[in-house]
Amino acid sequence: MIANTPKPPYYAVIFTTYRTDIDEGYFEMAEKMEKLAALQEGFLGVESARNQLGITISYWSSLEAIKNWKHNLEHSEAREKGRSTWYKKYKLRISKVERDYEFEK
């Protein structure tokens, strides 16, 4: 699903991953983190796709909202589990969205 974001400016956190072969608890944790993020002040939406390369983009109203999400205790625990078990490699990028547009039939 494409996130319904407000008019810019807002922020995007782009989380790109390569997974290990271990699935134990991964999908449940991903779903839990998406639900938890949606409860955070400043959360605007999320989009995710996975083949060999996984990309999850979450949208936020401010850098402060992103920082608060980073320091959320449950999110920190999930991040540690990701490093120790689920990810071979990941990269996180934070960018400011200054323009967006869309098309729909």
Encode the chain (105 residues) as per-residue pLDDT tens digits.
899 999 999 999 999 999 999 999 999 999 999 999 999 999 999 999 999 899 999 999 999 999 999 999 999 999 999 999 999 999 999 999 999 999 999
pLDDT of residue 58: 98
pLDDT of residue 6: 97
So what CATH class is 7-60? alpha beta
pLDDT of residue 97: 98
CA 17/CA 25 separation, integer angstroms: 17
For residues 10 and 61, is the Cβ–Cβ distance under 8 A?
yes
